[in-house]
Structure 1
Amino acid sequence: MRVEIWSDIACPWCYVGKARFEKALAGFAHRDEVEVVHRSFELDPGRAKGDVQPVLSMLTAKYGMSEAQAQAGEDNLGAQAAAEGLDYRTRDRDHGNTFDMHRLLHLAKERGRQDELIQILYRANFAEERSVFGEGDERLVELAVEAGLDGDEARAVLADPAAYADEVRADEREAAQLGANGVPFFVLDRAYGVSGAQPAEVFAQALSRAWGDRPALKILDEAAADACGPDGCQVPQDRPTAGKPQVSADI
């Protein structure tokens, strides 16, 4: 079964929701048969790469709330994160464009390190003092290396604006087609969708339901035929062994 998660590194509920989903997945009986794929979604796609501002300023401008209300929201997020065992800085974080991070996540997917990188990017953005937005490409290269990627390869991706750009945009178009207007957005086997950072219990129920509703394999031709089984492949006695040289009686 495949679970696809649309998310953004700038989304605190994606950070919390990932932890809740993983808690549910850890208790799922078929967890080793679940493939998790992270998909791209930008909350602020129109923001220029170098446009970095404090989170509180972004929140007050975007949602028309007071700074006190914005700070209360951050404090609540800090408490929600702590309940999931996550560190969360409720003061002095910044906000910026995440497009390059998504491009690196597609590189990481090809290298089998996607989950490692997204977790490191979340931690760096929400828990560490250093910025993932204000220190330039080398900060992202450093985090990519920590996730197990090659530094020169990550650097080359960041230096080429076209690298994995189509993959990011394709993810975002697909999210729109599926009806996702916010993140995190979880899609289970393209049959069920779960929106938001739901409690672990909700994710557990969704996993069980999606697994139980998987269609059984239908055998189209049940007539007996030659086949290999758990004990190997028995060669019929009335046939020459495939590949075995025929020995001449004159030798």
Structure 2
Amino acid sequence: MRVEVWSDINCPWCYIGKARFEKALERFPHRADVEVVHRSFELDPRSPAEARPVVPLIAAKYGISLEQAEAAEAGIAANARAEGLDYLSEGRDAANSFDMHRLLHFAAEHGRQAQLLDALYRANFAEEGSAFADGRLLELAVEAGLDGGAAAAVLADPAAYAEAVREDEATASAMGATGVPFYVFDRRLGVSGAQPSATFTAALEQAWESRVAVPLLVEAGGAGASGEACGPEGCELPQR
């Protein structure tokens, strides 16, 4: 069974959702028969390459004060830490993620996609300094086990893997995805948002037990479940 996950490195709920999904997958009896493929989704393709502080961006997007934006970041941080993740709620920044997605496709060809994705999330959400600083992406590629020269060549060529990124985004749009994280099980069952691990467990079981051709179904989760997500208009903020 194949699980495709559409996400963006700028999306904190993708970072959190990945941890929740992996906890469910670890307990899944057929784990060895599940292939996880990460797909590209840019929350803001028009975002500039220059990194900008996250808190003012949140305040401007939602029309809230800087203090409220800081509180929102702290709330997301609390959700991350509840999953055992490190999260810097102060001093983070954001920028255009297109080169990251291109490099993730390159990494997939060399069997290092999962390692690079983890490195990107860690650099963006858990480590001091910017994941978007000059030269940092190449450093992360090498840390993930990729050849530095080959990775540098990909980054130097704006066309390299660009079409692969666009194809992922077009597929997500065709499936009705308007935000991320977005999980698709064998192109039959879709789950939207950073759902609780129990919801992912149910989705894995349902997809495994119903391996017949049926229309794609996008679910928000079980009764009472909250699947936080990020979309073009911003990331869902924790309830105060």
Output the TM-score relative to the length of structure 1. Answer: 0.83
State which of 146, 151, 155 in structure 2 corresponds to 1:149.
146
Q: Give the deviation of 1:215 after TM superposition.
A: 3.4
Corresponding residue for residue 39 of structure 2: 39
Corresponding residue for residue 124 of structure 1: 123
Report 1:161-200 matches (<5 A).
Answer: 161-200=158-197
Return the alpha-carbon distance in structure 2 between the equivalents of residues 143 and 130 of structure 1. Answer: 13
Corresponding residue for residue 14 of structure 1: 14
Output the TM-score relative to the length of structure 2. Answer: 0.87
Corresponding residue for residue 203 of structure 2: 206
Can you list the C-alpha shifts for 1:72-105, whole angstroms capped at 9, x where unaligned?
1111111111111100000010111100000000
Can you list the C-alpha shifts for 1:119-148, whole angstroms capped at 9, x where unaligned?
110000000011011x21x21111001111
The one-letter amino acid paired with 1:3 is V
Return the alpha-carbon distance in structure 1 between the equivalents of residues 104 and 64 of structure 2. Answer: 33
Corresponding residue for residue 245 of structure 1: none
Q: Give the deviation of 1:33 after TM superposition.
A: 0.2
Larger radius of gyration: 1
- Secondary structure of residue in 2 paired with 1:82: helix
- Secondary structure of residue in 2 paired with 1:36: strand
Corresponding residue for residue 91 of structure 1: 90
Q: Give the deviation of 1:65 after TM superposition.
A: 1.6
Return the alpha-carbon distance in structure 2 between the equivalents of residues 49 and 18 of structure 1. Answer: 25
Identical counterparts, % of pairs: 63
Corresponding residue for residue 58 of structure 2: 59
Q: Give the deviation of 1:194 after TM superposition.
A: 0.5
Corresponding residue for residue 79 of structure 2: 80
Structure 1: gaps of 5 or more residues: 217-251
Q: Give the deviation of 1:62 after TM superposition.
A: 1.5
Return the alpha-carbon distance in structure 2 between the equivalents of residues 208 and 65 of structure 1. Answer: 41
Corresponding residue for residue 108 of structure 1: 107
Return the alpha-carbon distance in structure 2 between the equivalents of residues 61 and 9 of structure 1. Answer: 20
Q: Give the deviation of 1:48 after TM superposition.
A: 2.2
Q: Which runs of 4+ in 1 moved over 6 A?
A: none
Aligned residues: 213
The one-letter amino acid paired with 2:24 is A
- Secondary structure of residue in 1 paired with 2:118: helix
Q: Give the deviation of 1:110 after TM superposition.
A: 0.4
Q: Give the deviation of 1:69 after TM superposition.
A: 1.6
Return the alpha-carbon distance in structure 1 between the equivalents of residues 204 and 150 of structure 2. Answer: 36
